[in-house]
Chain A
Amino acid sequence: MLTLLVVIGILMLRAAWLEIFQQEWLQQQADKRQMRVVTVPAYRGMITDRNGDPMAISSPVSSLWCNPQELLQAREALRNEYELSRQVSEATAGDTAAEESEAQALASTRFARLESGFRQIEKELGMEEGSLPAKLKEASSKQFFYLGRQLPLEVADAILDLDLPGVAATREYRRYYPLAETAGHVVGMTNVDGNGIEGIEKAQNDILAGKNGQTRVVRDAKGKLVESVISMEEMQPGQNVQLSIDRRIQYLAYKELKTQVSLLNAKAGSLIVLDAHTGEILAMANVPSFNPNNRKELEPYLYRNRAVTDKSEPGSTIKPLTIAAALEARVLGADVEINTSPGQINFGKYSVKDPKDYGSITLSTLLAKSSNVGASRVALLMAARDQWMFLNRVGFGRVPNAGFSGETAGQLTDYTKWGKVDRASHGYGYGLSASLLQTTHAYAPFAANGVFMPASIYKLDKPGLGQQVMSPDTASAVLRMMEAVVQKGGTGEKAMVDGYRIAGKTGTAYKYIDGKYQNDRYLTSFIGVAPASRPRLVVAVQIDEPQIDDSGGRAAAPVFSKVMAESLRLLDVPPDNLPSEHPPMPQPVAPANVGGAT
């Protein structure tokens, strides 16, 4: 009795000792083993097109990790269990059948399930079949080994459900890009840690990413979470970003551009579809492109968004702007004729040439024939300041700020340094440079009654603040002139679209490489506006160094025609150039205006 009391007394003293004097130390040790701060990953917002269809979407995945040694031991144990039960069941065939076969069924399924789990991981990650256990053995000296990163939930769960020691999973998100290489340059991509490194993913990373949360939790010996002690930081899911892109147009634009670039064996190509009234970019495609779903085979030159980052001399596509500038400066009227004889102007050792002497031509013919001499004459009528002011107003030499990263401002030098040669060459698109986005954007006022809307890659709830850069009269006059380009005999004949009136301009610019113009390497382009009677869209196509058909009219115009036709149809823009040989049906009641052209 006394002994018992003594023992109890000793135990109580010990308990008191631990509780009172060592409590802090013990608590720390316990926390060290049980408490963990767990990161709750934030869901990355979607990138959608203007209709809300996904262009980038995150899907939850599991990264499965383990302690290799523990897992190998567990696997061995399962295998033994399985072998043993099989032997037992063979030896005692039939006797205690029910019990044994049950045990065997359990063991074999557990072992088989682990093995089939391994096979699934190997398949998912494209590894050789049966290579995972070997890799585990290799890593058996380590404490930590990724069985597989970013696995589909069900694959990871198949193994987690076996409840093996030393195996655990971390929740992550994986990014999918349903449009793949079609919109790679616009959407961009994230790196393996989920940070945007290209395109919109980079430009809007802060909004898309959200904020990871942190929670202090208690874990049991198997690493399972038992209790959440305190939420240190709330997880904030990322927000969606809506682009101005129309997926349907984007898809067909890329497809047509790619077909043409490979057909002509060209170096590269870019394409932009712009809504002139809102400044929204409906499609932007570049070839060569990359597939953001597959980060492995990426070379830097593939993921440059050429339409935005590369500047080049626009060439003849600038001529309509030269004429508009001259009309705005009131140095000529829309109905004048320009004398281009003798098809050549000499400025000392430098000369501007036309393919032949066109004689005295109207401004429409000047554009239709793309006369360099004519454009130079028009440019020389203006003061350098007026020319510069106009070009600057329509975006040359300024960053477009459309929402991309790495937008170039192009180059437009100070007009006070311009000589006669500069003024003339600026008139037909040399001596200054711009990205395709800038040149496309500069055409938008022609389609919007002279209003220059800021360009945007994001869908706008209400249009931005536009600027009147030319009078509506100038806009419609130049538009009429540009219609002459897309007629039989014009340089842009191939840009015609069935049912619509098209206004546009071809461009075939010599490339300036190694300090001189190369007369066998061209940058061909076509920029056009439709429908000409009620303009809405600007479509620009640029094809770099086509090996055959090397002019804007032959290389770029056919792509323009297809993309413009489909875009107008997809956007339900009514045709304005229907054949008029069918007279309107007699209308008994109020006559409707059948036939379109108004």
Chain B
Amino acid sequence: MNRGGLLSVALLYVLVIAMALLIVVNRHHSRQLFAELQKLEKERDELSADWSRLKLEQSTLLNQVHVETRSKQVLNMQKPSADNIKVIRE
């Protein structure tokens, strides 16, 4: 085998080893990213659980009856009767 051939075989050998190492590194990196992804997905789930809980809470507080009793009791408001209403049409 001539010198050039030998050199290229050596080069290829080095390349193969390098590639193998790169694959290992990449694989490790991908697993780390996947772990990160799982953490984020968990976080997303917790946030969306919070969101739906808050949404439910908001809808409970916005309940018509609740708002009405609060406005009557706390703010001393009242429903106007027909003789207290005037309609202005344009």
Closest to B51 in A: A59
Could you tell me the distance in whole angstroms from the C-beta of B85 to the nearest C-beta in chain A?
6
Known: A225-B38, A227-B30. A578 touches B52 (CB 8 A): no
CB neighbours (8 Å) of B30 from chain A are: 227
Closest to B80 in A: A499
A176 and B48 CA atoms in complex are apart in Å by 14
A255 and B59 CA atoms in complex are apart in Å by 17
CB neighbours (8 Å) of A498 from chain B are: 81-82
B6 proximal to A (CB < 8 A)? no
Q: Which of B32-57 contact A (CB under 8 A)?
A: 34-35, 37-38, 45-46, 48-49, 52-53, 55-56
A54 lies within 8 A of B55 (CB) = yes
B89 proximal to A (CB < 8 A)? yes
B60 proximal to A (CB < 8 A)? yes
CB neighbours (8 Å) of B56 from chain A are: 54, 57, 176, 178
B52 lies within 8 A of A579 (CB) = no
Q: Which of A252-272 contact B (CB under 8 A)?
A: 252, 255
B34 lies within 8 A of A225 (CB) = yes
Known: A178-B60, A499-B82, A579-B82. A153 touches B49 (CB 8 A): yes
CB neighbours (8 Å) of B27 from chain A are: 227
A577 proximal to B (CB < 8 A)? yes
A595 and B82 CA atoms in complex are apart in Å by 11
CB neighbours (8 Å) of A53 from chain B are: 59, 62
Closest to A594 in B: B86
CB neighbours (8 Å) of A499 from chain B are: 81-82, 85
A153 lies within 8 A of B45 (CB) = yes
Q: Pick the residue among A227, A252, A595 that contacts B87 (CB under 8 A).
A: A595
B52 lies within 8 A of A59 (CB) = yes
Could you tell me the distance in whole angstroms from the C-beta of A120 to the nearest C-beta in chain B?
16
A228 and B79 CA atoms in complex are apart in Å by 61
CB neighbours (8 Å) of A227 from chain B are: 27, 30-31, 34
Q: Which size class do B's interface residues fall under?
A: 20 to 34
A431 proximal to B (CB < 8 A)? no
CB neighbours (8 Å) of A178 from chain B are: 56, 59-60
CB neighbours (8 Å) of A577 from chain B are: 82
Could you tell me the distance in whole angstroms from the C-beta of A214 to the nearest C-beta in chain B?
15
Closest to A246 in B: B64
CB neighbours (8 Å) of A570 from chain B are: 64
Could you tell me the distance in whole angstroms from the C-beta of B90 to the nearest C-beta in chain A?
7
B85 lies within 8 A of A575 (CB) = yes
Closest to B60 in A: A178
A225 and B41 CA atoms in complex are apart in Å by 13
CB neighbours (8 Å) of B85 from chain A are: 499, 575, 578
B63 proximal to A (CB < 8 A)? yes
Could you tell me the distance in whole angstroms from the C-beta of B24 to the nearest C-beta in chain A?
13
Q: Pick the residue among B31, B52, B83 that contacts A58 (CB under 8 A).
A: B52
A594 lies within 8 A of B55 (CB) = no
A61 and B48 CA atoms in complex are apart in Å by 10
Q: Which of A224-244 contact B (CB under 8 A)?
A: 225-228
Known: A53-B62, A176-B56, A225-B38. A60 touches B86 (CB 8 A): no
A248 proximal to B (CB < 8 A)? yes
B75 proximal to A (CB < 8 A)? no
B89 lies within 8 A of A59 (CB) = no
Closest to B47 in A: A60
B65 proximal to A (CB < 8 A)? yes
A578 lies within 8 A of B83 (CB) = yes
B49 lies within 8 A of A574 (CB) = no
> Which 9 residue pairs are nearest across A and B when measured between Cβ atoms?
A499-B82, A59-B52, A248-B64, A596-B87, A60-B45, A498-B82, A574-B87, A178-B59, A593-B89
A-B contact pairs, 7 of them (CB 8 A): A57-B55, A153-B46, A226-B31, A251-B65, A575-B85, A575-B87, A594-B86
User: What 19 new A-B contacts, CB under 8 Å, besides A53-B59, A594-B87?
Assistant: A43-B48, A53-B62, A57-B55, A59-B48, A59-B49, A60-B45, A153-B45, A176-B52, A225-B34, A225-B38, A227-B30, A227-B34, A228-B34, A575-B87, A577-B82, A578-B83, A579-B83, A594-B86, A596-B87
Q: Report which A residues bind B (CB closer than 8 A).
A: 43, 53-54, 57-61, 152-153, 171, 176, 178, 225-228, 247-248, 251-252, 255, 498-499, 569-570, 574-579, 582, 592-596, 598
